[in-house]
Each structure stands twice: as structure tokens, then as C-alpha cells.
Structure 1
Amino acid sequence: MAATDRAPVGGVSVSRLGFGAATLGNLFAPVTDEDAHAAVETAWDRGVRYFDTAPHYGLGLSERRLGEALRAHPRDSYTLSTKVGRILEPADTGGTDTGFAVPATHRRVWDFSADGVRRSLEASLERLGLDRVDVVYLHDADECGDGGTQALREAYPALERLRAEGVVGAIGAGMNQVPPLERYLRETDADVVLCAGRLSLLDQRAAHSLLPEAARRGRAVVVGGVFNSGLLADPQPGATFDYRAASVDLLGRALRIKAVAEGHGVPLRAAALHFPFRYEAVASVLVGMRTAAEAADAAAMLDVAVPDELWDELRAEGLLGEADG
């Protein structure tokens, strides 16, 4: 499999390797403008043609940086997704944003109203400096306080209208939890769901029902968080799992998986990146890339051949609890 391979998502297509641009919003640590631009350009040179961002990432910094880099390329040559659900309102506190190393010049306001969808998308296009995005996700609707009710009743129908008008090519929802994503598959005509962190070598909750449901309905799944925020990229004391310090048990499990993978001549990062593609509904895997080196490494890991025997051994050792792919 190569980064240049593509898969359909609604009315558009995505490259198998996607660029997860939360990093360009200074996720947890600063990224220079130069490194951000180099990461996008290197990913492009390696065949990446799907880029995902959101207003949430660095209070709009990710969208601004990504748009600036992508404007150098023909608009029809790549697929771009962003998200709605958080409106950015000016509110300079003089401090630093939580989670992103940027000045807290704005505050995020939950808004899954139909008008909020339109306003959010218009603001995203202004930050991106582009005339359109191709895919729009409802972002973290399960976290907004009402259980996602407004998102399902108001924001989702607004996305359907945008799709019917030809403003966007595909619509969906992106979350960290499996049950609400399954609800979107069952109750809406969403083209795609973005599932973060729940289809990895250490967490296969999405494998048991979400992936089979998507396959039955002919819907696409985009997967994020395959390294579980770091533990599956480099398992060592102090590594993080889902943005918290990994437990001793999780670290031990990751090290055992690494040993099995390396016994087959496969780097752990490659095994982690390839794992979601065992499921037919998976269209793309998003990887966060801060630098040119990280972008080149992600593409190289996707090029690694992973033998079936590796998965067989992991299962035999009790290191995979996955459903059949």
C-alpha cells in the first residue's frame, strides 16, 4: 500500500495516508511556520492528497497554516476536510490556550445550530484562504453537553443541505467514542465517520461493531490516533496513551507488540499504521506530522510490507482482541 493509493468517501476520494493537521495548531508544543510548511510539502511530495483540520486546532492556526501551504497546489488535486461545532469568538485573556501552544486570543463556543454550521464554515474558508472544503465533519458532538442532540437535529440536516447544494462533497461526524459514531451510521445518511483512537493495536473498540456496520452500509471510516498519542510510536517510560501517561501494563503490552513486529522485520510504527487497513470500510488513516522528517517517516511506514503472520502471532499471543477484518 502507498500513500498515493486512494479510496472513495462520498462524492470525493482520499489518499490512504492523510495529514492530520492538529499538529499545525501547535498541539501541546510550538511548531515553527517553517517546519509546518515543510511538513505539508514533504507529505505532498510523498503522495499525500488528503488533509484534515479544524477551527479547534490552535484556535484557527492549523487552518491558516494548512491553507497557506495548500494554496501552492491546484485545488482539484487534493481533498480537504474541516469541522464544525465550535465557533471561535474573540476573548483575549493574555494567557495561553489549553492543549495548544498559542495565545488565548479566542474562546471556543459550542454551536451545533444550522446557522452555526454556516458561520463556522465561512470562517474556516476565510482562515484557509480557499474557496471550498471537500468534507465537513461534526466535531466532538458527544462532548458539547447535550449528548449530541442539537448536532443530530440541527447541524446534521444543515450539512445535508450543503451536500445537496454541491457546496461540499461529503459529510460526517468525527469523535473519540464509538457509540455516537454508530448512531450516525444507523440514523443518518452520513458519508463518513472519523474515529480517533479506537482502532489501534492497543484499543480495538471500533472493530467490534462500528467497522462491520460501516461496511454493511457502504460508508467510509477515516481513522485517527493510530499511535494513541505516542505510546505506539515509541513505547518507553513516560510515553503517553490518549494524552495521559501510559500505565505500566499498557507500556508492557506495547513493548510486547513491538517485539513481535520487529521479529517479522516490521517497525512498530508500520504495524500501527497498517492495522486499520485490515478493515474494508477504512478509507484513510490520519497521522499528525510536525516536521518534514515525520511526514517522510509516515509515508515510509506505509510502504513497509506487513506479513499476515505478524497479525497471526499477535492474536496467538493474546495481544489482539480484534474482530475479524
Structure 2
Amino acid sequence: MDPTSTARLGRTELSVTRLGLGTAPLGGLFDRVGDEAAEATVRRAWDLGLRLYDTAPLYGYGLAERRLGAGLAGRPRADYVLATKVGRMLVPAGSAGESAGQDVYVEESGLEPVFDYSYDATLRSIDDSLSRLGVDRIDVAHIHDPDEHFAEALAGSYRALAELRSQGVIGAVSAGMNQSAMLTRFAREADFDCFLLAGRYTLLDTSGLADLLPVAAERRISVVAGGVYNSGLLADPRPGAMFDYAPAPAELVDRALAVRAVCQRHGVPLKAAAIQFPLGHPAVASVVIGARSVAEIEENVAMFTHPIPEQLWSELKSEKLLAEEVPTP
């Protein structure tokens, strides 16, 4: 596949490259990165032709947004699509009554997140992100992980973002989650342009096919697939590997090993099959993949461009590792 080819994002005027850079690792996810390595990663992604960049205040509690902005500094703003998220406001560290943080980020930013999907907080969040990124426009705004906040997100964040879209301040309204059921509710109850679906349309978990993807295709809502390695299990399947940020159950490890064995028989790295698989569905416009170094983004692009014979997908189905109805690239 060509990572620099583009697809229209829903019914918007935005076009995204089929491969985009996710920036959670640039915020110090699981390990320190530092400004220099993070910015070099962004610059290398640019040189490789990627023009979709996805970030969030949560990632490194502001570090990822700041580092992404520094890496993109000087690039023509019209030449790339920039996505960030709302729903977690950043406040001075130690000041939050109830933090919405995650203990997976290991670098200090002096800030911490709190949940707030209100109308006013959403507007402030966009302004804060613009400041950290050093840009004057966000293209895509995702409502971030409103799992326990559906009503507030719809009445607050969605209303604010829809108004910003109508004013031309942002180009697309979205939500980003690790589940498909609530995204399907959003699709049915409001006017969304796209969704970021993390981990629920992968070689190990195709649950998004049961609800979200058919609705998205019907309503011309684009899906951006994230978490295609399921936190690492599809990158390096072994006992102790992570799945959705926790140690993978043994049955999932066995399944990932079986998928890898099929890939090996066809001379295809497991990562290549994992990163290309979601684009077999017509509702999926792009895959966003994280990277923390120049070497990682180069490997991601190599995996995305690796040839995959049709027989590989057929064998995964014959081995009952993919259901027959699952579309493949």
C-alpha cells in the first residue's frame, strides 16, 4: 500500500494520507523520549510523506502536543491534517481534585488531566491545544474516551465542536474511543464526520465490524483505525506481551502466534499484515500508528508498503483466524 495516497474524510473537504502518525509515544508512553528524539520523529514522518498527525492533551499531559508542534514548525499549514482531542483539561500538577491521568506516561510536564466534557471546557481545551501546538487551526477534534460521560459529551463537547465546525474554525467533528458501541450511538444520535476507533478493528479484534463500521459506511462517516497492534501483542506475540495496556490473556497470545505463523508461511511480517488489515473495509480512511523514534516510523512505513499476497488473507480465513465476512485489502 502507498502510505502517501489519500482518502476523503467523510463528507468534509479534508483528505488524509492512508497512514498517519499517532503521538502517544511522543508523550513518554511507557518510556522517556525527550524533545529532540520526538521532534526528529515528526520530521522524519513528514519526509516520508505522512500528512495526518493525531495527538491529544492526555498524551504526556501536554508534551506530545508541544513536541508535535515543534516538529511541524515551518511546514505549510495547509499541507497537513492535524487532529487533537477534547474532554480532558490540563491543570497544574497537584491541583486536580480527581485526576483523569494514566500511569503509563513517565515524563513530567508539570500538568495533569481532569475530565471535563462541558461546552465551556471544550472551547478552552481547543484554545489550549492551539497554544501548545503553535498553530492557528485544528482540522479534526475528537471527543476523547467519553465512556462514562456520554450525555455530557453530547450536550457539551459535541455542541461546542458542532458550532466551531459551522463557523469554519475546525473541519471535522469526531470522537475517539477504544470501544465501538458508544461510537455507534454517537453516529446515530448526532452529526459526526469521522471516528477514531482504537483496537477494535484489528487482526485480533474485529468487533467494530458488528456495529460501527456498517453504520459508518451507510452514513459516510470515515473511520480512522488506531491501536492496530493492540498495545504490542500483534507486534511481538509472546507470553507477557501487552493487549490493551494490560498483559494479554494466554488464548489471545496463542491466537496472535497462529496469525504470525500464517504470515511467516507467506513471507510477510506480522506487523505488515496488522497495519494494512483495517484498510480492507471501505469505511476506514486511514491507519494512525504511533512511533517514538525515527527507526520506528521508518519501520511502520516499511510494514505499510510490504507486499501481501491475497492467499495470506484466504488462509487466515480457512484457519478460522478471520471470519469469512471480514473484508480484506
- The answer, yes or no, to whether TM exceeds 0.5 is yes
Tell me the residue number matched to 1:175. Answer: 177
Q: Once superposed, which parts of structure 1, at least 4 consecutive aligned residues long, lie more than 4 Å away?
A: none
1:10-61 CA-to-partner distances (Å, cap 9, x unmatched) read 2211111010101111011111222211211111111110000000111100
Tell me the residue number matched to 1:280. Answer: 282
Equivalent residue in structure 1 for 2:247, among 242, 245, 248: 245
For 2:126 and 2:86, how far apart are their aligned partners in 1?
7
Report the CA distance shift for 1:159/1:322 in structure 2 as closer, same or farther (over 3 A).
Answer: farther
| Alignment-mate amino acid for residue 98 of structure 1 | D
1:221-251 CA-to-partner distances (Å, cap 9, x unmatched) read 0010000010101112321111111222211
Tell me the residue number matched to 1:112. Answer: 117
Q: For this pair of structures, how many residues does the alignment match?
A: 320
Tell me the residue number matched to 2:187. Answer: 185
| Post-superposition offset of 1:107 | 2.8
Moved more, 5-14 or 48-57: 5-14
Tell me the residue number matched to 1:148. Answer: 150
1:162-181 CA-to-partner distances (Å, cap 9, x unmatched) read 00100011111111111100
| Post-superposition offset of 1:104 | 6.5
| Post-superposition offset of 1:322 | 6.5
Equivalent residue in structure 1 for 2:270, among 245, 265, 268: 268
Q: For the Cα contact (< 8 Å) 2:63–2:109, is it kept in 1?
A: no
For 1:85 and 1:182, how far apart are their aligned partners in 2?
19
Runs of at least 5 residues in structure 2 that lack an aligned partner in the other structure: 96-100
Report the CA distance shift for 1:223/1:4 in structure 2 as closer, same or farther (over 3 A).
Answer: same
For 1:97 and 1:272, how far apart are their aligned partners in 2?
26
Normalised by the size of structure 1, how large is the TM-score? 0.95
Corresponding position: 1:6 with 2:6: yes
| Post-superposition offset of 1:92 | 3.9
| Post-superposition offset of 1:305 | 1.8
| Alignment-mate amino acid for residue 37 of structure 1 | E
For 1:20 and 1:131, how far apart are their aligned partners in 2?
20
For 2:325 and 2:184, how far apart are their aligned partners in 1?
16
For 1:188 and 1:101, how far apart are their aligned partners in 2?
36
Normalised by the size of structure 2, how large is the TM-score? 0.94
* SS in structure 2 of the partner of residue 109 of structure 1: strand
Q: For the Cα contact (< 8 Å) 1:174–1:193, is it kept in 2?
A: yes
* SS in structure 2 of the partner of residue 296 of structure 1: helix
| Alignment-mate amino acid for residue 201 of structure 1 | L
| Alignment-mate amino acid for residue 268 of structure 1 | L
Runs of at least 5 residues in structure 1 that lack an aligned partner in the other structure: none
Tell me the residue number matched to 2:47. Answer: 45
Tell me the residue number matched to 2:260. Answer: 258
- Give the share of equivalent positions with the same residue, in percent: 50
* SS in structure 1 of the partner of residue 33 of structure 2: coil
1:251-271 CA-to-partner distances (Å, cap 9, x unmatched) read 111111011012112110000
Q: For the Cα contact (< 8 Å) 1:207–1:323, is it kept in 2?
A: no
* SS in structure 1 of the partner of residue 106 of structure 2: coil
For 2:135 and 2:233, how far apart are their aligned partners in 1?
35
Q: For the Cα contact (< 8 Å) 2:62–2:109, is it kept in 1?
A: no
Tell me the residue number matched to 1:100. Answer: 105
| Alignment-mate amino acid for residue 18 of structure 1 | G
Equivalent residue in structure 2 for 1:55, among 54, 57, 64: 57
Tell me the residue number matched to 1:26. Answer: 28
Question: What root-mean-square deviation, in Å, do the aligned CA atoms of Structure 1 and Structure 2 show?
Answer: 1.5
Q: For the Cα contact (< 8 Å) 1:141–1:148, is it kept in 2?
A: yes
Tell me the residue number matched to 2:164. Answer: 162
* SS in structure 1 of the partner of residue 314 of structure 2: helix
Moved more, 97-106 or 216-225: 97-106
| Post-superposition offset of 1:91 | 2.7
For 2:102 and 2:315, how far apart are their aligned partners in 1?
44
| Alignment-mate amino acid for residue 183 of structure 2 | L
| Post-superposition offset of 1:6 | 0.8
For 2:140 and 2:13, how far apart are their aligned partners in 1?
9
* SS in structure 2 of the partner of residue 177 of structure 1: coil
Tell me the residue number matched to 1:89. Answer: 91
